[in-house]
Amino acid sequence: GGALDAFKKKQQIMSTLTAFTGNEGDAKKEFNYVVEQADRIGFAVEESAQAYAKMGIAAKSAGLDTQATRYIFDDEQGENSG
């Protein structure tokens, strides 16, 4: 059902964030960051977290750090909010 699907999606997002950050602790910090940003702007958390996780993997492969990824994500979220 809905709760199981939500759990699976969150686990998938956390797995991607862990690949991006290198460890679960930092992945949780990044997930919490995305939740805060999504709430602030009024975006859906799940979609925002999936987008951020994918962006993080791409940024990491391009040699960017977490701070640069956040900057890009914030910029994109701002553009999409209005």
Placement of tokens 């930092």 in the chain: 26
**pTM of the prediction?**
0.86
Using a pLDDT cut of 70, give the percent of the chain over it: 99
In this structure, what DSSP letter does residue 22 have?
Answer: S
Collect all residues with Cβ–Cβ distance below 8 Å to 82 and sequence separation of at least 6. none
Q: What is the mean pLDDT of the chain?
A: 92
Q: Which of 69 and 82 is assigned the larger pLDDT?
A: 69
The long-range contacts involving 59-65, CB below 8 angstroms and separated by at least 24 positions, are 59/20, 60/20
Q: What is the average per-residue pLDDT within 36-44?
A: 92
CA distance 10 to 70: 19
User: What band does 16 get if pLDDT is binned at 50, 70 and 90?
Assistant: very high
Which pLDDT score, from 0 to 100, does residue 82 have?
A: 62
Is residue 80 scored above 80 in pLDDT?
Answer: no
